[in-house]
Amino acid sequence: MKINKIHKFILNVIIATALFLSSCKKDEPVERIIERGTLTDVEGSTYNTVKIGNQWWMAENLKTSQFNDGTPIQYVGIDESDIIWADATVATYTYINDSLFGYLYSSSVMSDAKNVAPIGWHIPTDEDWKILEIEIGMSNAESNQTGWRGSVEGEKLTSKNSRGWPQGGLLFGTDEYGFKALPGGCRIFDGKTNTNTNTAFWWTDSPNGSEYWYRYIDLNERRIFRQHTYPQYGMSIRCVKD
């Protein structure tokens, strides 16, 4: 009789353990399958691409110094006079950290009739960015707001474990969708440049009067910032497939 009770006790322990392990497995996040590809720009540079929802996005920032017809874009280095950048009236670009994070462009690359995006791709509009943000978890209502929106969408787009970013900030990237956001920084309308590698700014091809909408991720935030600003800013560009 005692043996039967012992057997029954052991059996109950085995069943309870199996149920516990089963419940633990259900709580484990399922690794997302990411569809990837590549594209090449007019200068022959190759970029990684990633499919997020129904959109194909570049998984790197653009770094071409030419429009698709071969017309050069004016270069203004960060060591040159800030006034040269501030007073430029044509499409202009610069970069920091030896272009590790791609180039920073003035919004004139979008207002110019020539196309800077690789063939078959375009600079994303404000709506393209909203589609991306909703796909990764932001509500439709929040996507239409300005300022910091969402909850952790910035982290979902940031490089895994925030590689390439300074340590110690609130932002801790999961790169859940393969977007791999890196801190390209920005060049301000007066020509001054943020070289602290703690921010990422991207233009959208959506004007708002004389300004343009943009997106922004910061080392000390987990969300995504939406606003419009002066066209003379220098920001990164991520292209999306037509």
Per-residue pLDDT, averaged over 73-100, amounts to 91
Is the pLDDT at 146 greater than 80? The verdict is yes
Task: State how far the Cα of 166 lies from the Cα of 11, in Å rounded to an integer.
Answer: 52
Task: State how far the Cα of 155 lies from the Cα of 145, in Å rounded to an integer.
Answer: 19
The residue type at 227 = Q
Q: What is the pLDDT of residues 46-78, one digit of tens each?
A: 999 999 999 999 999 999 999 999 999 999 998
In the chain, how many H helices and how many E strands? 6, 14
Share of the chain above pLDDT 70, in %: 87
Whole-number pLDDT of residue 27 = 45
Lowest mean pLDDT among 79-83, 137-141, 155-159: 79-83
Lowest mean pLDDT among 17-21, 78-82, 139-143: 17-21
Distances (CA, A) of 201 to 197, 224, 225, 236, 241: 11, 10, 9, 6, 20
3-state secondary structure of 46: strand
Task: State how far the Cα of 238 lies from the Cα of 122, in Å rounded to an integer.
Answer: 9
The residue type at 39 = L
Per-residue pLDDT, averaged over 125-134, amounts to 98
Q: What is the pLDDT of residues 1-44, one digit of tens each?
A: 445 555 555 555 555 555 555 554 444 445 678 899 999 999 99
Whole-number pLDDT of residue 28 = 44
Whole-number pLDDT of residue 217 = 98
Q: 212, 204, 207, 227: which is closest to 57 by C-alpha?
A: 204
More confident residue, 113 or 128: 128
Per-residue pLDDT, averaged over 151-170, amounts to 95
Mean pLDDT of the chain: 89
Contact status, residue 233 vs residue 187, Cβ threshold 8 Å? yes
Per-residue pLDDT, averaged over 117-132, amounts to 97
More confident residue, 222 or 4: 222
Is the pLDDT at 79 greater than 70? The verdict is yes
Q: What is the pLDDT of residues 183-221, one digit of tens each?
A: 999 999 888 887 788 999 999 999 999 999 999 999 999
Hey, which bits of 102-166 come out as E strands? 104-105, 121-122, 147-149
The residue type at 166 = P
3-state secondary structure of 208: strand
More confident residue, 193 or 126: 126
Task: State how far the Cα of 76 lies from the Cα of 80, in Å rounded to an integer.
Answer: 7
